[in-house]
Structure 1
Amino acid sequence: MTQASRPFRSLWTRRQGLRQWLHGAAAAFLWCLLIGLVLAGVSGWRDFWHNILYSVCIGMCCWGLIDASFRGLAYAMRKGRPCPEGAEQEWPGLPWIALAVIFGSVGGFSIGQQLGDLISGLHTRSLWSAQWSHAAAMLTVTGVASLVATAFFYTRHRMAAAQVEAEHARRVAAETQLLLLQAQLEPHMLFNTLANLRVLIGLDTARAQAMLDQLIAFLRATLEASRVGHHALRDEFARLRDYLSLMQVRMGERLQARFELPDELASLQLPALLLQPLVENAIKHGLEPKIEGGTLSVQARMQGEDCLLVVSDSGRGHFPAADTAGTGFGLQQVRERLQARYGEAAGLSLSYPPDGGCRIEIHIPRRLMTAPAPAASP
């Protein structure tokens, strides 16, 4: 994180913490209203507003003291270190929770009762001057209500923590899968290119030497790109241009390339070299076997809320049966990378236009491409 971004991240974290605290306060307030309604019903709906007033005052004071106790204990257990950015406020152990509930119930009742007297103008008997049985009953009601509310908040916290852990495990699994798929992509691309070079050496030594020079520059840029895990669409198109320039050394005028990338889409992020296998397939199965060659087109445009990426060629048409079924390396590898990164939100479709050639479309929601994808850890 840069120095300039820290204040914004800190502000965002504080806002998240405030939002969580407000949600807790709202839930506690509704719980106090419910208890007030129950007490009013038990008393025959006499002094309805007084029951509501004292229930809210006492309950919110109890919640405030208990919540403050939890935060203070957690802060002390971290030895004065602040809560890490993005982390939810942790809870202390059950013994400390029990002590905090007892302290909050007794202190909250006393403070809330005085607050209720101040607002209503009444003078109720305090907890310490009441008879033992009456004081015990009041503390029992307050303690049970505080315990139930604390159990609710604790359960919600544990469920949220479990959800965060599950999401983290899912993300790590997806990143690991992306890393394995990327490791497959690099040698596959290299072997295909070397096979093309081997064929050209036997046909035209001068062109083979030019292709070798182009290959060295291409591999330097491409292997560097493959290490970042993700990059902008402009970088993806740049790597494809490098690859097609390399193929044009071999195929000459038989290969024509066309790129369409609107400026407003150039900064969108996607997994590095995602389109590379599709371009390789288009040349190997579509354009190269065709005597007169043809045109390969790579386009990016918006289609509704999705970014549509299209790789099309005017080659001979149908891929081999394995690729058409999605079990060949090219289509399978791209499909798996899309699934690992975007789940069911993205998809790939293959079609054969009536005028010949092959067309592959990838759709990805633009909202998922506006920030860099999480890089897989090596």
Structure 2
Amino acid sequence: MLLQRPFNGITKLRHYLQVLAFTLVVATLQYAFMPDKPYGPPVVYSVLIGSFTWAIIDLGRELLPSAAETGWPQGWQGIALVAAGIVLGYVAGTLLADALCVYYFHFYPAGASLSGADQRTSILITAIAGLVGTYYFYAIHKSAYLEDKMAEARMHANDARLKLLETQLEPHMLFNTLANLRVLIGSDPARAQHMLDRMIGYLRATLAASRSTRHPLSAEFARLQDYLELMAVRMGPRMAYTLELPDALQDAPVPPLLLQPLVENAIRHGLEPQVQGGHIAVRASTRPGATGPLLVIEVNDTGAGLPAALPTPGPGQSFGLAQVRERLATLHGSQGTLELIAVSAGGTSATVTFPLEKPVSTP
């Protein structure tokens, strides 16, 4: 794929400074092999020839379509540009250096010229240095392109991983709900109808949010309310809930379906085992962290509390908790945590903590 890149003056300045450093190294090496001659002339010739060569090649390639992988023209155009840069850079740099060395720095008397051996040496050094410098810039452009592609691939891999985890969570919740719906169809058709309507609304919202790996915390709370209303149809007065979302956190980006597994776990292992049921409270807040503010989301219930030993994660056994931990690790590494705490007054508190990100602006 060929592209026309936007001109970046800062990048060009950085390239030129690297070229200047390289020409000084070449002049120093040349002087080291010929210490009987003054150091000044090699510096003047090297800097001027290198500057002209760089200007022709690095600025000239901005006028030609270049490969996305390398940022350099392909085929004969790239070869011709480098050859022209080295030849014209040598001719122009030598002519200007001759004038400066004679009339400005007075290194040579007027009318003096380089010997045949010195000219051949200068041409050879220019050719080698030009090819080495060109290959260096070609290599760093290709390396930068490959690094960008690797970062893009890692991002897509993380997105795919999160999507996979989300698709695993959806059937888990769906199968539990359908099992409850099957029981209600025989015992209470009216409630079954109401529960089915709630489930349709929840799935519609879920499908709409599944197109991205992030959505506002307000959308996550809205989906959570749909789910809780769905569960309230089944449990009736045995379940009550409150949702607390400060206005300042409405637009905080979070992964979809982050909270529903925690609430489902609270209902299944906390409220359902109790005859009287219980209350679920979900609240969002922030607290300072080592590298910035942290978003803290708590899911508290007044249910039966934690068992002595949590079951091994698997279908129907702490599945949602394991998936929440894995999603947090994928997105935030060690900064994303999930803590389960037994409340002294009875019940369980599940706390999710991860870095608070800035809301994604929409055009």
Give the TM-score category using the shorter length.
0.7 to 0.9
What secondary structure does 2:72 align onto? coil
Q: Deviations over 1:38-90 (max 9, x none)?
A: 345555497555543443222122112122344444x1x67xxxxxxxx6762
Per-residue deviation at 1:118? 6.3
Q: 2:117 aligns with which of 133, 136, 152?
A: 133
Q: Tell me the distance in 2 between the aligned counterparts of 1:352 and 1:116.
A: 82
Structure 1 counterpart of 2:144, one-letter code:
A
**Matching residue of 2:130:** 146
Q: 2:48 aligns with which of 57, 67, 84?
A: 57
Structure 1 counterpart of 2:82, one-letter code:
V
Q: After the TM superposition, which of the residue ranges 236-245 and 264-273 deviates more from structure 2?
A: 264-273
Per-residue deviation at 1:23? 2.8
> Is the Cα contact below 8 Å between 1:349 and 1:362 reproduced in 2?
yes
Q: Deviations over 1:182-212 (max 9, x none)?
A: 2222222222222233344455444333333
Per-residue deviation at 1:238? 0.8
Q: Deviations over 1:72-126 (max 9, x none)?
A: 44x1x67xxxxxxxx6762245765554333222211222334446666258799
What secondary structure does 1:22 align onto? helix
Query: 1:309–1:161: structure 2 CA closer, same or farther, 3 Å change rule?
Result: same
Query: 1:37–1:183: structure 2 CA closer, same or farther, 3 Å change rule?
Result: same
> Is the Cα contact below 8 Å between 1:62 and 1:146 reproduced in 2?
yes
**Matching residue of 2:354:** 364
**Matching residue of 2:339:** 349
Q: After the TM superposition, which of the residue ranges 227-236 and 351-360 deviates more from structure 2?
A: 351-360
Query: 1:206–1:268: structure 2 CA closer, same or farther, 3 Å change rule?
Result: same
Query: 1:313–1:49: structure 2 CA closer, same or farther, 3 Å change rule?
Result: farther
Per-residue deviation at 1:235? 0.3
> Is the Cα contact below 8 Å between 2:266 and 2:303 reproduced in 1?
yes
Q: Tell me the distance in 1 between the aligned counterparts of 2:83 and 2:265.
A: 70
Q: After the TM superposition, which of the residue ranges 275-284 and 296-305 deviates more from structure 2?
A: 296-305
Q: 2:22 aligns with which of 27, 31, 41?
A: 31
Q: Tell me the distance in 1 between the aligned counterparts of 2:114 and 2:35.
A: 23
**Matching residue of 2:175:** 191
**Matching residue of 2:86:** 105
What secondary structure does 2:129 align onto? helix
RMSD: 3.5
Query: 1:45–1:206: structure 2 CA closer, same or farther, 3 Å change rule?
Result: farther
Q: Tell me the distance in 1 between the aligned counterparts of 2:10 and 2:249.
A: 34
Per-residue deviation at 1:233? 0.8
Q: Tell me the distance in 1 between the aligned counterparts of 2:313 and 2:53.
A: 66
Per-residue deviation at 1:236? 0.4
Identity %: 40
Gap runs ≥5 in structure 2: none
- Asked if residue 221 in structure 1 is aligned to residue 205 in structure 2, the reply is yes
**Matching residue of 2:319:** 329
**Matching residue of 1:281:** 265
Q: Tell me the distance in 1 between the aligned counterparts of 2:303 and 2:36.
A: 84
- The 5 A counterparts of 1:249-264 are 249-264=233-248
Q: Deviations over 1:238-285 (max 9, x none)?
A: 110111122223323332222232222221222222221111111111
Q: Tell me the distance in 2 between the aligned counterparts of 1:295 and 1:115.
A: 86
Structure 2 counterpart of 1:268, one-letter code:
A
What secondary structure does 1:309 align onto? strand
Q: Tell me the distance in 2 between the aligned counterparts of 1:171 and 1:203.
A: 49
Q: Tell me the distance in 1 between the aligned counterparts of 2:159 and 2:18.
A: 37
- Asked if residue 90 in structure 1 is aligned to residue 78 in structure 2, the reply is no
Q: Tell me the distance in 1 between the aligned counterparts of 2:256 and 2:71.
A: 38
Q: Tell me the distance in 1 between the aligned counterparts of 2:179 and 2:165.
A: 21
Query: 1:140–1:97: structure 2 CA closer, same or farther, 3 Å change rule?
Result: farther
Q: Tell me the distance in 1 between the aligned counterparts of 2:149 and 2:347.
A: 47
Q: Tell me the distance in 2 between the aligned counterparts of 1:236 and 1:125.
A: 82
Structure 2 counterpart of 1:107, one-letter code:
L
TM-score by length of 1: 0.78
Greater C-alpha Rg? 2
Query: 1:281–1:132: structure 2 CA closer, same or farther, 3 Å change rule?
Result: same
Structure 1 counterpart of 2:133, one-letter code:
A
Query: 1:327–1:315: structure 2 CA closer, same or farther, 3 Å change rule?
Result: closer
- Asked if residue 316 in structure 1 is aligned to residue 326 in structure 2, the reply is no
Per-residue deviation at 1:315? 1.5
Structure 2 counterpart of 1:166, one-letter code:
M
What secondary structure does 1:321 align onto? coil
What secondary structure does 1:322 align onto? coil
